[in-house]
Amino acid sequence: MNGETNGTNGTNGVHKPKYIEGALVPAVHRYGDNPVTIRLSDEELNSDKTNWDTIQEVLKYYHRDGLVVLENAIPEHMIDILYNKIVEDNDRYLNQPHMTWNQGAGPKNVSQVPPLKPEYLYREVYANSHMIRILENLLGPRPEFRFLNSNVACPGGSGRQAVHSDVHHDFPTQPFGVVMNTYLQDSSAANGVTEIWCGTHNAYPKTTDSVHDQQLHAETGWIKKEYIQKQAKIKPPVQPEIKKGSIVFRDLRLWHAGMPNTSSHHRIMLAIDYFAEWYQCPMALKLPSSIRKDVEEKWEISTKGIEWVEGEMDCLEQPFFLNMTQDPSKYIVQTEKGFEDWRARETGRWDFDKGKVGEKNYWTAEE
């Protein structure tokens, strides 16, 4: 890869991506192109070796936008196996007593643990060598694997999520955690690709505004309308087109929103979270002990955040569990009553994810 292109392709002087030796070089010297997609060459994919130029380009646009797409990153047959299995499991999962829709039933968006049998836990997916090399340059050596889930946009969604950030505590101003949203099918606005707000991982860092000033509810990370409208004038949101097998590196601080899937097929993306060791995240991920030796010897990651479980694990019986703070008491766990957060435990108020999404929670074009 040879960096940015300065020419134009096509008609009317429109800048388009250019391929060099099979790898995608982004034409992004114009401010406003977002998000950036960088394609691994077939040689990189097949050799498991990431070119330094590729890493440099990913880091450059990750720090600028808080999100970058790495295309051609995972063998296609593994993606298809996971997609088909998660779709097969979805019917049963929707009938689980602890199942809860994300931000209400309208978007038909659900968090579903992917299959946890050893034959589905591919290193090429969950500790992809290209992904880990990039993370080591973002977070430091041996990043900690601490969260695994999938986000499923079921067909027939009619609503959208509020613009929000996944973290809503007093987080650091440098990258401390990254979620890899790995797409299991070609995705676009038609099947509910996520709406993203590039640049909001460090929005307004030089003003007196704090993260809590931006949030409508301190416990959920929903963004106030005034900040949504203000940011849209700087860089409006987009629903990008993302190819199957792409790894989307998303900063946990970035604003985003789930969108309805109006197609007839499930839209599935994995959510694979790694954290910097220095951040001391208290969250733990449960994996079967049958893969422990393979993970510890071959995955080249820190296993501090993994709790090994003896015997088989039914992925659909695993409740959603989340704690991206540095406080062990601030966890969220899925129950038959809904999502239980610290308020439910301390005050009995079951308010997490109960807000109703309206026009005040997303961008509307102004006249």
Residue ranges of alpha helices (H) inside 261-331 are: 292-298
Q: What is the pLDDT of residue 105?
A: 87
Q: Using DSSP bridges, classify how beta strands 109-112 and 144-153 pair: parallel, antiparallel or unpaired.
A: antiparallel
**Distance (Å, whole) CA 301 – CA 306:** 11
Query: Strand, coil or helix: what is 298?
Result: helix
**pLDDT in the model for residue 353:** 85
* CA dihedral angle for residue 328, residue 331, residue 335, residue 338, rounded to 10 degrees: 160
Give me 309's structure tokens.
Answer: 């479980």
Q: Is 89 helix (H, G, I), strand (E, B) or coil?
A: helix
Please tell me which of 158-162, 305-309, 317-321 the model is most confident about, judged by mean pLDDT: 305-309
Where do the structural domains in the chain lie, given as residue ranges? 73-353
Third-level CATH fold of 73-353 = Jelly Rolls (2.60.120)
Are 260 and 157 in contact, with CB atoms under 8 Å apart? yes
Task: Tell me the average pLDDT across 127-142.
Answer: 96
Residue the block writes with tokens 């994300």:
102
Burial tier of 81 (Cβ tally within 10 Å: 0-12, 13-18, 19+): middle
Backbone angles phi, psi at 288, to 5 degrees: -70, 140
CA distance 230 to 35: 19
Question: Distances in Å between the alpha carbon of 22 and those of 18, 25, 29, 60?
Answer: 9, 9, 21, 21
Q: Has residue 204 got a pLDDT over 70? A: no
* Euclidean distance between CA atoms 194 and 192, whole angstroms: 6
At 230-286, the pLDDT tens digits run: 999 999 999 999 999 999 999 999 999 999 999 999 999 999 999 999 999 999 999
User: Rounded to two decimals, what is the model's pTM?
Assistant: 0.90
User: What sign has the CA pseudo-torsion 304, 352, 165, 204?
Assistant: negative
Share of the chain above pLDDT 70, in %: 89
Question: Residues 272-296: pLDDT tens digits?
Answer: 999 999 999 999 999 999 999 999 9
